[in-house]
Structure 1
Amino acid sequence: MTTNLSQHFLLDPEVVFLNHGSFGACPRPVFEDYQRWQLKLERQPVEFLDSRRGLAPNLRVAREALAAEFGTSADNIAQVSNATTGLNVALQSLPLKPGDEILTTNHEYSALEKTLAFVARRTGAKIVVAEVPLPLTSAEAFHDAILSAVTPRTRVLFLSHVTSATALLFPIERLIAEARQRGIWSVIDGAHAPGHVPLDLDALGADVYSGNCHKWMMAPKGAAFVHVRPEWQAMIDPLVVSHGWTADNKEPGVRGPFGASAFVDEIEMQGTRDPSPWLAVPAALAFRRAHDWWQVAAECSRLAQETAARVRDLFGLDALSSPEFSAPQMVAMPIPACDPIAVHDALLRDYGIEIPVFEWQGHHIARLSCQGYNTREQMDLLVTALGELLAREQPLRKRGQA
């Protein structure tokens, strides 16, 4: 990194934090804006939470800022606390029937796998899992793997934009277009995408897209959104029926009881809760612009890929993808078979490194996230630590492995 930005973050200086991908890290000025909103809430909670005087206008400002950033209308995007919630809103609203098929991949986030299982059990739909070939080196191979699993019963295409465990950037654009041509709903898990990859929601064209603002956008924890194309908003029901619900239709142009689209009001106006993380989203966008964060991200991507190459050379293990299909700032690095928990704990205890280490479908992985507060010296320490720990003939090696 040419410029280290660690002074802008609140992270423990004693910890080498290489796990931005899990929960993000909020810059100091954004966190201060978040606290400013919380203080306003506590100073005059009635005014703040009153839909007419405070809440609805403040929510609208944040929604409009995010919609402008992501190329859509503020009427198509509603705030939720995390991407899992947004995807549940959509998936639990779909009018599926017994025999309908939900097509997904073997790379999806475990919480959403459970959501799909819940929806399938409740509706009688069937989950079909397409296996993505590894290493992922071809968009055609990815498309073929998914499309070969489409049948006349396929009603939903559920894909990650950036996968969690394997840190792959799926080339989803053509599949979304293909799904629309075939009358299949496309539902995209964008938990890791906002602020990580450029995002134009209307151009992408997914029927449903939900993403987190608290990961790579660096907003406070609890800021996320769900985006639904206008023609499907009437189909969407909130998980909680509260003040925003209306018995009227939610067709495009119909306003809800608090002035936003009916879809937005139903999702956002759900009684007493702290909206401060969402209200700090404009501050996160401003912080990114002030520090030319796409340039920062490009430097982080180079550093992450260089480090992953060093780990490959160290252990002689193949990458899970070619660079263009790896998430820009997050790389799932294969490591020798080991006790993942023991390796994680040793990295933190002996080297002060916080990084996820886990087993995924027979692969042992250390997932590296590189953000503007990380340095090349930290990457050197990681490579050294992995080499020292996984060279040992000790319990860190998986039982029965050399």
Structure 2
Amino acid sequence: MMYNDLKEAFLLREDVTFLNFGSFGATPKPIFESYQRFQRELEYEPVQFIINKGPEYLKESRERLGEYLFSHPDNLVYVPNPTYAVNIVARSLDLKAGDEVLSTDIEYGACDRTWEFYCREKGATYVRQTISLPIQSKEAFLADFWKGFSEKTRLVFISQITSATGLILPIKEICEEAKQRGLLVFIDGAHVPGHISLNLTQLDADFYTGACHKWMMTPKGSSFLYVKPEHQDELDPLIISWGYQADYPSHSQFLDYHQFNGTRDFSAYLTIPDAIDFMKMNDWWGVAESCRILVRKWLPKLCDLVGSEPLAPVTDEFIGQMGSIPVRCGNPVELKHILYNEYKIEIPVMVQNNQVYIRYSINAFNSEEDLNILEKTLKDLKKRTLIF
């Protein structure tokens, strides 16, 4: 369905200023209705849906997603979220005592915990290389990052768009340099699909995970793991189920091992073609560009208001549809509650490396008025010395 006013496409509460699309996305009505149709079909005939029709629907969905991401569909498997995908790879990777996984100190916390856990089990080291903020240039970031490399480095794990800091990182250059150094590369692209363009074939990472339930707007719990063919058989299933050493194996061990994890409702995965159609019908790349312009227009102003500065040059190279404002406050958890309960603003307050960030996201339903509200709220919070 095509909308003249895209705000009408979403189910979000009208009394809340929603500036937190980055956390869990929000699903437009036509995609949500498709989701419910699949769920009803599941309940009409659960056995036929799960055993026969469901796998065919999954295949069709992966084919559409493969076209969208420029990947062969058999190199993609659906997972509930990117953290699940990171666990599959981290658990399976043949790390030895003394090996190192090179990352940054601005990664998503759940992924940090995953790598710390599996590296500790295997006697390896997870290296959180310090990134100087604010980033001055792409070259400065790359110089910072590669300081963490050593002869023990086996894998690079890095976000394409970071979570707390909301920054687009130069992943293409990281992949190219890593290949020259003989390293595996795993990209956390949780915020990428539907946010900025992604061509998995050109990027040539060994592993890539992305969320469809964020910027692609599918229902919650729909993400993917991409694995280059030469690594697929190296990955053990995170959940041992009927696909492991299957009685009737398919053409792909990768799909057998990771696609079916026992009884569950996988309807969210099946709506991905609907999400792609919705974006195409509503000129989503044009919408995204308008949102990025709004984010970049306001980021310097909001940072200046609280006495900080943007975390990178305010350009398309580093800033997409999210802007993170460094602030100082005594109690970030309390600040988050105050923003929602007193000011009716849904916005994350994040802490990373002892720095607090208020991160705003802009999507089709947002307007300049939402950022005016945020500006007035920040001024009021300063008067109340809740930020200083």
Match of 1:188 in 2: 187
Match of 1:46 in 2: 47
Match of 1:288 in 2: 279
Taking the aligned partners of 2:77 and 2:267, their CA distance within structure 1 comes to 15
Distance 1:267 1:75, change over 3 A: same
Q: Deviations over 1:41-75 (max 9, x none)?
A: 0000111011xx31221110000000110001011
Q: TM-score, normalised by structure 1?
A: 0.92
Match of 1:354 in 2: 346
Match of 2:228 in 1: 229
Match of 1:363 in 2: 355
Matched to 2:29, the amino acid is R
Checking the alignment, whether the CA contact within 8 Å between 1:77 and 1:228 is kept in structure 2 is yes
Checking the alignment, whether the CA contact within 8 Å between 1:156 and 1:185 is kept in structure 2 is yes
* Shift in Å, 1:183: 2.1
Checking the alignment, whether the CA contact within 8 Å between 2:106 and 2:352 is kept in structure 1 is no
Matched to 2:214, the amino acid is K
Distance 1:373 1:257, change over 3 A: farther
| Superposition map of 1:1-400 within 5 A | 4-50=5-51, 53-246=52-245, 257=248, 259-324=250-315, 325-393=317-385, 396-397=386-387
Matched to 1:288, the amino acid is M
Q: Secondary structure at the match of 2:291?
A: helix
Q: Deviations over 1:348-400 (max 9, x none)?
A: 2222111012332232211000010111111101100111112224xx24xxx
Q: Deviations over 1:122-177 (max 9, x none)?
A: 11111122111211131111211222221111001110111101101010112112
Matched to 1:13, the amino acid is E
Matched to 1:23, the amino acid is F
Taking the aligned partners of 1:174 and 1:67, their CA distance within structure 2 comes to 23
Checking the alignment, whether the CA contact within 8 Å between 1:191 and 1:210 is kept in structure 2 is yes
* Shift in Å, 1:246: 2.8
Q: Secondary structure at the match of 1:135?
A: coil
* Shift in Å, 1:282: 0.6
* Shift in Å, 1:260: 4.9
Taking the aligned partners of 2:248 and 2:70, their CA distance within structure 1 comes to 25
Structure 1 runs not aligned, ≥5 long:
248-255
Q: Secondary structure at the match of 1:13?
A: coil
Matched to 1:334, the amino acid is P
Q: Deviations over 1:295-337 (max 9, x none)?
A: 1011111111222122123233111111234341011112243
Taking the aligned partners of 2:319 and 2:196, their CA distance within structure 1 comes to 8
Checking the alignment, whether the CA contact within 8 Å between 1:238 and 1:266 is kept in structure 2 is yes
Q: Secondary structure at the match of 2:149?
A: coil
Aligned-pair identity (%): 40
Distance 1:385 1:4, change over 3 A: farther
* Shift in Å, 1:258: 5.7
Distance 1:356 1:210, change over 3 A: same
Structure 2 runs not aligned, ≥5 long:
none
Checking the alignment, whether the CA contact within 8 Å between 2:300 and 2:309 is kept in structure 1 is no
Matched to 1:43, the amino acid is Y
Q: Secondary structure at the match of 1:323?
A: coil
Taking the aligned partners of 1:347 and 1:146, their CA distance within structure 2 comes to 35
| Larger deviation, residues 366-375 vs 348-357 | 348-357
Distance 1:259 1:280, change over 3 A: same
Q: TM-score, normalised by structure 2?
A: 0.95
* Shift in Å, 1:4: 4.4
Checking the alignment, whether the CA contact within 8 Å between 1:4 and 1:375 is kept in structure 2 is no
- Aligned-residue RMSD, C-alpha: 1.7
Q: Secondary structure at the match of 2:342?
A: helix
Distance 1:70 1:260, change over 3 A: farther
| Larger deviation, residues 32-41 vs 340-349 | 340-349
| Larger deviation, residues 318-327 vs 111-120 | 318-327
